[in-house]
Amino acid sequence: MKALILSGGRGTRLRPLTYTGAKQLVPVANQPILWYGIEAIAAAGITDIGIIISPETGPEIQAQTGDGSRFGVRITYILQPRPEGLAHAVKIAQPFLGDAPFIMYLGDNLIEDSLGQFLSKFSQQDLDALILLRAVPNPTAFGVARVDEQGCLLQLVEKPAVPPSNLALVGVYFFNSTIHQAIAQIQPSARGELEITDAIQVLIDRQASVQAMQLSGWWLDTGKKDDLLEANRTILDSKLTPRIETAVDARSQILGRVRIGPGTKLIDCCVRGPAIIGANCHLENCFIGPHSSIADGVTIIGTDIDDSVILQNAKIINIPQRIVDSVIGQRACLAIAPRRPKALRFMVGDDCQIDLML
């Protein structure tokens, strides 16, 4: 059994953060989104993983993720020159996949359920494909599945105006080698891509053994800012283990589940968990509220932050109104001379500087 993680694409929905970096490396609870997928696959006992990368962001993904040894797996990087669809990614990965069955995992998705239960069904029933589904309130925004009472997949429809069900396709699929023949039979869609839904429909039309299972836990697609913040909240709520690896001065308070990395200085601060603060940060006279993730090397002075994600080496100084529901990019700088307070919300990309004169 092998795994294929798709980590290409241009991340247009997360711009400006992804103008200069890969969306799969944007951190959730101070860990790249991509790494959660690798960990989930490794926990299912799969150790041979191919990662699809693009020319623009591939080197950064390789540099940060490495050869897989930190996760106990072996990673092979596969270049997709242009984003021509999920089925195209499988097509160019065929030399790596060979005839082995495999799991395909979209690198910007997070799921709560263990993959092991789905892998067991796929293997024990010798299926051609197993598709994971999740009931959603807005199925018109997703690929939607129609299934029978036994869980057999009958039809897939991409973003239908009149959905046949409320079951959306999650970005996790199990395939055996028959998917390669199905991909060879399809043509690019109206948007010029080889769609994996079209290839799965070929299997269905051939009466291959294609089944579906529904997730019981949460599913998070981190493609947009609000989705990213929701993922950050969910991971901090469900997975954060408290750990303080630095000295905290007597005037500072740590309340609830909080993790603070080594080399970080807290001076006259209050941190209320669940929250995570990375290594080598400088926080002074500030409040860090629940569901905040502060990456390594961040400086925050005279500012209150709630429910936000702050990336590496950002600086936030003397913002008089609390910052909420915000994503601040790497090396961004926000500074203000305190005057009349106003409500402030930000999504700031890498290397930006914002000076507010109120």
Residue 136's SS3 state is: coil
The mean per-residue pLDDT over the stretch 212-236 comes to 88
* Residue 284 DSSP symbol: E
88: left (phi over 0), alpha (psi -120 to 50) or beta: alpha
Q: Which amino acid is at 321?
A: Q
Mean of the per-residue pLDDT values for the chain?
A: 90
Judge whether 130 and 211 are in contact, CB under 8 Å: yes
Work out the burial of residue 187: count CB atoms within 10 Å of its CB; fewer than 13 is exposed, 13-18 middle, 19 or more buried: exposed
Q: Identify the pLDDT of residue 104.
A: 98
Judge whether 89 and 52 are in contact, CB under 8 Å: yes
101: closest CA among 81, 78, 124?
124
Q: Identify the pLDDT of residue 39.
A: 96
Strand partners, 174: 103, 130
Q: Identify the pLDDT of residue 3.
A: 98
* pLDDT classification of 186: cutoffs 50, 70, 90: very high
277-331 pLDDT per residue, tens: 999 999 999 999 999 999 999 999 999 999 999 999 999 999 988 999 999 988 9
Domains recognised in the chain with CATH numbers: 2-236 (3.90.550.10), 242-356 (2.160.10.10)
Residue 341 has pLDDT above 60, yes or no: no
Q: Identify the pLDDT of residue 11.
A: 47
Phi then psi dihedrals of residue 68, to 5 deg: 95, -5
3-state helix, strand, coil in the chain (%, to 5): 25, 35, 45
Residue 67 has pLDDT above 70, yes or no: yes
Express as a percent the part of the chain with pLDDT over 70: 92
* DSSP string over 49-102: EEEEE-TTTHHHHHHHHTTSGGGTSEEEEEE-SS---HHHHHHHTHHHHTT--E
Judge whether 47 and 85 are in contact, CB under 8 Å: no
274-290 pLDDT per residue, tens: 999 999 999 999 999 99
Work out the burial of residue 143: count CB atoms within 10 Å of its CB; fewer than 13 is exposed, 13-18 middle, 19 or more buried: buried
Burial profile 43-70: b = 16 or more Cβ within 10 angstroms, e = fewer: ebebbbbbbbbbebbbeebeeebeebee
